[in-house]
Amino acid sequence: MKQLTKTVTLEHKQLTILKPIDLVVNAGETLAIVGSSGSGKTTLLSLLAGLDLPSSGEVYLKKQALHKLDEEQRSQIRAEHIGFIFQQFLLINSLTALENVMLPAELANKANAKELALTLLNDVGLADRCEHFPNQLSGGEQQRVAIARAFISQPDVLFADEPTGNLDSNTGQHITNLLFNLNKQYGTTLVLVTHDQKLAQRCHKQIEMADGHLIAEQNNLTPLTSVDKAVKL
């Protein structure tokens, strides 16, 4: 992304949430965006994922200029290349766990959506909860369904917004391990927004934001892959 900015108008006042930012995320890389509340992390994520358009600057995903595309074209890009994990899980309450996981695969026109979903639910340890509705699952279970949903379409990039933010530390740890394991398995590029330093440390790279600026960028030389292997779900 080049010289990306985002300005919003609130009650007739111009508010610049994102000041000019340049950033490159390479394929297969894991990136953590950290920073205090209101620093612009989530805004940055929404622009990277094509959920929102920048006020100025350029965003490219797999050489496609997202900033030049309309909502419909960006939808198509999301369907083909992007997966999401949210702090609030955001499962569709009226669909079962299985149907929630199948959803992106169906939207991406994958013929074997059900088989893929069952495999992934098995991978996240919820094979026996397929027919349960979100309100019948715990927070941790819901997030595991969300992770399965995120990987089903085998996205090139996975965006995760505070994936452990709504979970207790123990469950959060399990979810983190699951996320990184699957990420490694599928070779997905991972961009996550977090307050959690431990989580950020596990990424190849982390950037810190404050007041809409990118204030620090660091490469974690030793991503904690050894821990991954140690954790059993």
Partner 1 sequence: MSWMSNLVVKQSLRLFKHEVRQGELTIMFLAIVLAVATVFSLSGFSNQIKSALVEQSSHFIAADRVLRSSRPISQAVLTKSQQLNLHYVKQVDMSSMVFSTDSNMLLASLTATSDLYPLKGELLVSRSKKAMLAGEFQSVHAPKSGSVWVDAPLLAKLKVNVNDQIEIGNSLFTIAGVIKQRPDASFSLFSLGPEVIFNIRDIDKTELIQAGSRVGYKYLFSGNKQNIEKFSAWLTPQLNDTQRWYSIKSQQNALAKTLNKAEKYLSLASLLGIILAAVAISVAARRYSQRHQSAVAVFKAMGASKRYITQLYLIHWSLLCVVSIVVGLCCGYLLQYLGLAAMANYLPIESSLDWSYPLFTAIITGLICAIAFALVPLRELIETSPLQVIRDPILKANKFFSWRYLPAALALFVLVWLFSRDWLLTFVLLIGGAIIIAILLMLALFLVRFSRTIGSGAGQAWQLALANLKRRATENSIQLVSFTLAINLLLLLVVVRSDLLADWKKQLPDNSANKFLINITQPQLAKVQQFVDENNLTASALFPVVPGRLTAINNERVVSKETQKEQIASKGSNKGTDKIAENKNSKQRIGIGRELNLTWLDALPNNNKILSGKWWSANDDYAQVSVEKSIAKRLSIVLGDELTFTLGSDVFTVKVTSIRDVHWQSMQPNFYMIFNNKVLDNYPATYIASLYIPPSDESIFTQFLAQYPTITVLDVDAMIKQLNNVIKQVSLAIAFILVIVVLAGCLVLVAQVQATMGERQRDLAILRTLGAKGRLLRNSVWYEFVALGVIAGTLASFIMEIMVYFIQTRLFNMTASFHFNFWLIAIVAGGLFVGLIGILSCWRLLTKTALHRYAV
| Residues binding partner 1 (CB under 8 A) | 8, 10, 42, 45-46, 49, 51-52, 71-72, 75-80, 82, 84, 86, 90-96, 99, 103-104, 106-109, 133, 135, 138-139, 161, 166
Shortest Cβ 101–partner 1 spacing (Å): 11
DSSP string, 129-190: GTT--GGGS-HHHHHHHHHHHHHHT--SEEEEESTTTTS-HHHHHHHHHHHHHHHHHHT-EE
C-beta closer to partner 1: residue 7 or 75: 75
With contact defined as beta carbons under 8 Å apart, do 17 and 6 qualify? yes
Shortest Cβ 68–partner 1 spacing (Å): 18
* Calpha distance 80→153 (Å, rounded): 8
Shortest Cβ 230–partner 1 spacing (Å): 27
C-beta closer to partner 1: residue 52 or 123: 52
- Residue ranges with strand state E in the chain: 2-10, 13-21, 30-35, 56-58, 60-61, 64-65, 82-85, 157-161, 189-193, 205-210, 213-219
Shortest Cβ 131–partner 1 spacing (Å): 11
C-beta closer to partner 1: residue 102 or 200: 102
C-beta closer to partner 1: residue 115 or 218: 115
Shortest Cβ 110–partner 1 spacing (Å): 11
Shortest Cβ 60–partner 1 spacing (Å): 18
C-beta closer to partner 1: residue 10 or 221: 10
* Calpha distance 49→55 (Å, rounded): 15
C-beta closer to partner 1: residue 71 or 217: 71
Which distant-in-sequence residues (6+ apart) come within 8 Å of 150 by Cβ?
83, 84, 85, 104, 158, 160
C-beta closer to partner 1: residue 55 or 220: 55
Q: What is the DSSP letter of 89?
A: -
Max CA separation in the chain (angstroms): 53
Shortest Cβ 106–partner 1 spacing (Å): 6
* Calpha distance 7→131 (Å, rounded): 43
